[in-house]
């Protein structure tokens, strides 16, 4: 262990083996932090941590365990000088949350409460939480700002809003506690090395992983969910953000919390929306292959357009996304190809 890593502030990263978590580990190491991962590998594998090790020259310590396991958390806080927690651990499938709501409330809500209790007992007072643009009410004006009306329409989104509320209440009761509630828009892309990326299990629910599987021949064709929205070409518009921009946003959030207490909400998006067909064309350009698609029905619960107001994050986090759509698609494709290699 180098002297620098020894002195580096230790950040507990729950869910650090997952898609966004693993990319954030790279940004944390680059920024001089020492990440310590807690993951139960319910949607990831230890290999992701090893890949981070290859990229960073040092493999973050990784503990296999569950955020709902209080004794596991107490043990971690006792053994490691954790100064802050970045809390990614959670289940994230909207469809699954409709079928199995109790599993989502248990894992995402009860798990977060247990984590907060353990943090309080250990005197750790800094938390960055993975929330989602899905907490906004359907029909809000775009670009959507942090003070827009809230109203998630599925158990997954409800679980995110509930945890936000739990954290807000905890901050009110404990004035030294500080928390960043980061509302992600649509993360995509991969680390530019091609060594780290998203590995969805089963049939992807999200657009870009699905397109990627069409490009690699795993699936025959994309179904475009509706082409009769009031958008540029009738297909749904979203704010896609490069996962490395998102990862860097977490480092900025940690910095911002040094000079603030209480709960703070920040959108992490680019402020620009692209339609499904624009995404298909961008991916075709990156991979040099045609992406077959058919147009189907609208997906229940989808809105036509969603993109972020980025002003608050820019002024308070001193952060904004810098990677464009071409880079997102190119890095995603490099990751697909390197997995096949
Ligand atoms: P992911 O599934 O790749 O990562 C989540 C990680 O948490 C996985 O490694 C999983 O094994 C772990 N985990 C789940 N439950 C756990 C538990 N009880 N104890 C310990 N580990 C547990 O998902 P991701 O895309 O990296 O998302 C990270 C966070 O960001 C999630 O909370 C998700 O809800 C949120 N989010 C994701 C998106 C997105 O589109 N990817 C958008 C908005 C918010
Ligand atoms: C994007 C666009 C679809 C798949 C979801 C969650 C949200 C957040 C991010 C975690 C939409 C269209 C998609 C397909 C399609 N996750 N589409 N064919 O719906 O904005 O957000 O992921 O917090 O909670 O709801 O992202 O990638 O599913 O869809 O036409 O096979 O692509 O209709 O317009 P979404 P998405």
Give the ligand at the shortest distance from the Cα of 112: 1
Cβ of 299 closer than 6 Å to ligand 2, yes or no, is yes
pLDDT reported for residue 256: 98
Would you say residue 221 lies in a domain? Answer: no
> In angstroms, what is the span from residue 254 Cα to ligand 1's centroid?
19
Would you say residue 222 lies in a domain? Answer: no
Q: Residue 143: is the preceding peptide bond cis (ω within 30°)? A: yes
Would you say residue 54 lies in a domain? Answer: yes
10-residue averages of pLDDT along the chain (341 residues): 66 98 98 98 98 97 98 98 98 97 98 99 98 97 98 98 98 98 98 96 96 97 98 98 99 98 98 98 98 97 97 98 98 93 63
Q: What CATH number corresponds to the domain at position 52? A: 3.40.50.720
> In angstroms, what is the span from residue 207 Cα to ligand 2's centroid?
6
Residues 6+ apart with CB under 8 A from 73: 38, 65, 67, 114, 115, 118
pLDDT reported for residue 3: 45
210: its two tokens = 């699905």
Would you say residue 126 lies in a domain? Answer: yes
How far is residue 98's CA from residue 155's CA, in Å, rounded to a whole number?
6
Q: In Å, how far are 11, 163, 290 from 128, measured between CA atoms?
A: 10, 12, 40
Give the ligand at the shortest distance from the Cα of 224: 2
Number of domains within the chain:
1
18: its two tokens = 């997952």
- Whether residue 329 contacts residue 285, with contact meaning beta carbons closer than 8 Å, is answered with yes
Would you say residue 339 lies in a domain? Answer: no
Ligand 2 atom 33 nearest Cα: 225
pLDDT reported for residue 114: 99
pLDDT reported for residue 340: 67
Would you say residue 316 lies in a domain? Answer: yes
Pocket, ligand 1, Cβ cutoff 6 A: 14-15, 17-21, 38-44, 66-68, 88-92, 107, 111, 130, 132, 184, 187
How far is residue 239's CA from residue 138's CA, in Å, rounded to a whole number?
15
Closest CA to 132 of 269, 281, 244, 331: 269
- 244-274: buried (b, 16+ CB within 10 Å) or exposed (e) per residue? bbbbbbbbbbbebbeeeeebbbbbbbbbbbb
Atom from ligand 1 closest to the CA of residue 206: 40
Atom from ligand 2 closest to the CA of residue 229: 34
How far is residue 202's CA from residue 185's CA, in Å, rounded to a whole number?
22
Cβ of 210 closer than 6 Å to ligand 2, yes or no, is yes
**Segment (H or E) for 264:** strand 262-268
> In angstroms, what is the span from residue 137 Cα to ligand 2's centroid?
16
Domain holding 89, by residue range, is 8-188+240-269+308-321
Would you say residue 22 lies in a domain? Answer: yes
pLDDT reported for residue 123: 98
Residue 156 falls in the annotated catalytic set: yes
Q: In Å, how far are 86, 130, 245, 331, 334 from 198, measured between CA atoms?
A: 19, 17, 15, 11, 12
Would you say residue 28 lies in a domain? Answer: yes
> In angstroms, what is the span from residue 104 Cα to ligand 2's centroid?
19
- Whether residue 261 contacts residue 307, with contact meaning beta carbons closer than 8 Å, is answered with no
């Amino acid at each position: 262990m180098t002297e620098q890593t020894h002195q580096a502030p230790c950040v507990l990263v729950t869910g650090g083996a997952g898609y966004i978590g693993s990319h954030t580990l790279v940004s944390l190491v680059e920024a001089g932090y020492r990440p310590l991962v807690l993951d139960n590998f319910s949607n990831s594998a230890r290999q992701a941590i090893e890949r981070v090790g290859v990229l960073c020259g040092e493999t973050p310590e990784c503990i296999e365990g569950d955020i709902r396991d209080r004794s596991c958390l107490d043990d971690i806080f006792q053994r490691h000088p954790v100064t802050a927690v970045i809390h990614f651990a959670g289940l994230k499938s909207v469809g699954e949350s409709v079928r199995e709501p109790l599993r989502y409330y248990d894992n995402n809500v009860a798990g977060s409460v247990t984590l907060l209790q353990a943090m309080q007992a250990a005197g750790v007072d800094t938390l960055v939480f993975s929330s989602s643009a899905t907490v906004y009410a359907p029909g809000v004006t775009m670009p959507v700002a942090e003070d827009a009306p809230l109203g998630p329409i599925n158990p997954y989104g409800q679980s995110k809003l509930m945890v936000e509320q739990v954290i807000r209440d905890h901050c009110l009761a404990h004035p030294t506690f500080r928390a960043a509630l980061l509302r992600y828009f649509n993360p995509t892309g991969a680390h530019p090395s091609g060594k780290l990326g998203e590995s969805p299990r089963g049939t992807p629910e999200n657009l870009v992983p699905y397109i990627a599987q069409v490009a690699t021949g795993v699936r025959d064709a994309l179904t475009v969910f509706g082409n009769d929205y009031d958008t540029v070409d009738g297909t749904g518009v979203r704010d896609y953000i490069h996962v490395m921009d998102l990862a860097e946003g977490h480092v900025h959030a940690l910095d911002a919390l040094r000079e603030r207490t209480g709960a703070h909400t920040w959108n992490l998006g680019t402020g620009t929306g692209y339609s499904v067909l624009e995404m298909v064309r961008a991916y075709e350009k990156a991979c040099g292959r045609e992406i077959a698609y058919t147009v189907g029905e609208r997906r229940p619960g989808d809105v036509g357009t969603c993109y972020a107001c980025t002003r608050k994050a820019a002024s308070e986090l001193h952060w904004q996304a810098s990677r464009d759509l071409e880079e997102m698609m190119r890095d995603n494709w490099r990751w697909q190809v390197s997995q096949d290699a």
